[in-house]
């Protein structure tokens, strides 16, 4: 049967048979949503990691309402107080040294900003990106994304025949994630052309694969040696989800000598309101002169007020520590109540992947559908094999046990 919404929307998503209606009110931010038939679900999709406070946190709603009544739009040829304060708050918390912010609306836009800056600031034409990487779906970001199902047939469709600048023929060199020798060989061969290496410190869409500290430090060293920039795509992993403000700092540590040159963040950043930011080292940001980039909605006062309220609540309520505790808590629950079909539980903090089946086995969407239908838990399956949990940061042992039981019971009922 065709889903009623399928007739109105482009068929770009496999729509699940569920109409989300409202969050179940909760003073600490809601972990549960209600569908149009009144059924309640524990929400581990969370707008794909966009509501770190849970839904409709009362203090977040209050801050947005106050800003809405004050000023709701401003062109980027002006600045606003929420924008200034938000940029300052990010610069103070993220590891990019002496950073300058380009504020956008989505993750993809921030990848685009990072590509432009890397090419301009270095005058080079090659971006290194990794196998399984996801950086967005606009044509520039898509060139860095690995999945052929998303790429085909767009990549290369907007090439120029007579490029005037070296970076008008920019290209992406794709390497295996975590393979330091492959990276070293690529630098030996193409080092003078490599503008930047783009990496998700935790690959999210691919199935929640964290990079090792050793690999990130090695990558950083090679970039420094060859004059290339280090670009950390933290659209999914950043803004407290690991328990630290960035996954980079969580994995690598906060030594400024090992900091990335560029970092872009979205999803959790607005607490549910659309906003993304690309941070670049101050000297590099100078490469983006007037007219080199822009966006109408980026840095909108409402979005910045939402981001500021999110930072305030995350800090005052100790939610980064709560996020950090999620992965070890789930792993402890899994040890108490083992499930043979689960191959691995990995990630950091509140970005968790539960891989099902043998390595290489594809599980499709059936487990997720069963968890939703039979156990009232919403999850996404990514990489075709891994149940991804993106719970609000305050979710604790009770919710994780509920998710775990939904996973194991769904897998058991599938096996019988």
Which residue ranges make up the site for ligand PLP (CB under 6 A)?
106-108, 111, 134-136, 200, 204-205, 233, 235-236, 266
Minimal distance, residue 264 CB to ligand PLP, in Å: 8
**C-alpha distances out from residue 69 to 49, 73, 182, 222, 302, Å:** 28, 11, 54, 50, 10
User: Which helix (DSSP H) or strand (DSSP E) does residue 76 occupy?
Assistant: none
Q: Which is nearer to ligand PLP, 234 or 402 (CB)?
A: 234
Pairing of strands 171-175, 386-389: unpaired
Q: Which is nearer to ligand PLP, 95 or 231 (CB)?
A: 231
The residue sitting closest to ligand PLP, measured at its beta carbon, is 107
Q: Which is nearer to ligand PLP, 46 or 106 (CB)?
A: 106
- CB atoms under 10 Å from CB of 123, counted, come to 11
Minimal distance, residue 278 CB to ligand PLP, in Å: 11
C-alpha closest to that of 213 among 146, 258, 243, 175:
258
Q: CA 163: distance to chain centroid? A: 33
Minimal distance, residue 47 CB to ligand PLP, in Å: 10
| Residue 44: exposure state from Cβ atoms within 10 A (0-12, 13-18, ≥19) | buried
Check: CB of residue 103 under 8 Å from CB of residue 304. yes
Q: Which is nearer to ligand PLP, 237 or 355 (CB)?
A: 237
* Residues 282-286: contacts with CB under 8 Å, at least 24 apart: 282/97, 282/98, 282/99, 282/100, 283/98, 284/117, 284/121, 284/229, 285/99, 285/100, 285/102, 285/117
Cα angle at 193 between 187 and 199, to 5 degrees?
60
Minimal distance, residue 267 CB to ligand PLP, in Å: 6
Q: Which is nearer to ligand PLP, 302 or 411 (CB)?
A: 302
Minimal distance, residue 286 CB to ligand PLP, in Å: 25
Minimal distance, residue 295 CB to ligand PLP, in Å: 13
Minimal distance, residue 96 CB to ligand PLP, in Å: 17
Q: Which is nearer to ligand PLP, 205 or 402 (CB)?
A: 205
Q: Which is nearer to ligand PLP, 245 or 404 (CB)?
A: 245
């Amino acid at each position: 049967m065709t889903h009623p919404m399928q007739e109105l929307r482009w068929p770009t998503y496999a729509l699940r048979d569920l109409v989300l209606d409202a969050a179940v009110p909760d003073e600490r931010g809601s972990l549960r949503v209600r569908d149009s038939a009144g059924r309640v679900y524990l929400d581990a999709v969370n707008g794909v990691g966009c509501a770190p406070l849970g839904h409709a946190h009362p203090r977040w709603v209050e801050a947005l309402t106050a800003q809405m009544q004050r000023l709701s739009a401003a062109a980027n040829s002006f600045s606003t107080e929420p924008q200034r304060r938000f940029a300052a708050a990010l610069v103070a918390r993220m590891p990019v040294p002496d950073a300058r912010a380009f504020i956008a609306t989505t993750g993809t836009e921030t990848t685009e900003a990072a590509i432009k800056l890397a090419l301009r600031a270095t005058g080079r034409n090659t971006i290194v990106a990794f196998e399984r990487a996801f950086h967005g779906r606009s044509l520039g970001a898509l060139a860095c994304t690995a999945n052929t199902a998303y790429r085909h047939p767009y990549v290369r469709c907007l090439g120029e025949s007579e490029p005037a600048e070296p970076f008008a023929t920019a290209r992406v060199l794709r390497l295996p994630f975590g393979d330091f020798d492959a990276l070293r060989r690529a630098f030996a061969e193409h080092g003078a052309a490599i503008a930047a290496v783009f990496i998700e410190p935790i690959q999210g869409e691919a199935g929640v694969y964290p990079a090792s500290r050793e690999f990130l430090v090695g990558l950083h060293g090679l970039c420094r040696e060859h004059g290339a920039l280090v670009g950390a795509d933290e659209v999914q992993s950043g803004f407290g989800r690991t328990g630290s403000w960035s996954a980079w700092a969580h994995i690598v540590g906060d030594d400024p000598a090992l900091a990335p040159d560029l970092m872009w963040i979205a999803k959790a950043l607005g607490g549910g309101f659309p906003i993304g930011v690309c941070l670049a080292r101050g000297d590099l940001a100078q490469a983006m002169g007037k007219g080199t980039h822009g966006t109408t909605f980026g840095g909108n006062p409402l979005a910045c007020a939402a981001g500021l309220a999110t930072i305030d609540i995350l800090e005052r309520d100790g939610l980064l520590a709560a996020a950090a505790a999620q992965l070890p808590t789930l792993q402890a629950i899994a040890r108490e109540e083992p499930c043979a079909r689960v191959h691995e539980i990995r990630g950091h903090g509140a970005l968790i992947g539960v891989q099902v089946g043998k390595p290489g086995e594809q599980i499709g969407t059936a487990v997720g559908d069963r968890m939703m239908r039979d156990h009232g838990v919403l999850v996404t399956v990514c990489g075709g094999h891994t149940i991804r949990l993106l719970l609000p940061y305050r979710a604790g042992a009770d919710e994780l046990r509920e998710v775990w039981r939904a996973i194991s019971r769904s897998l058991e009922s599938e096996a019988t």
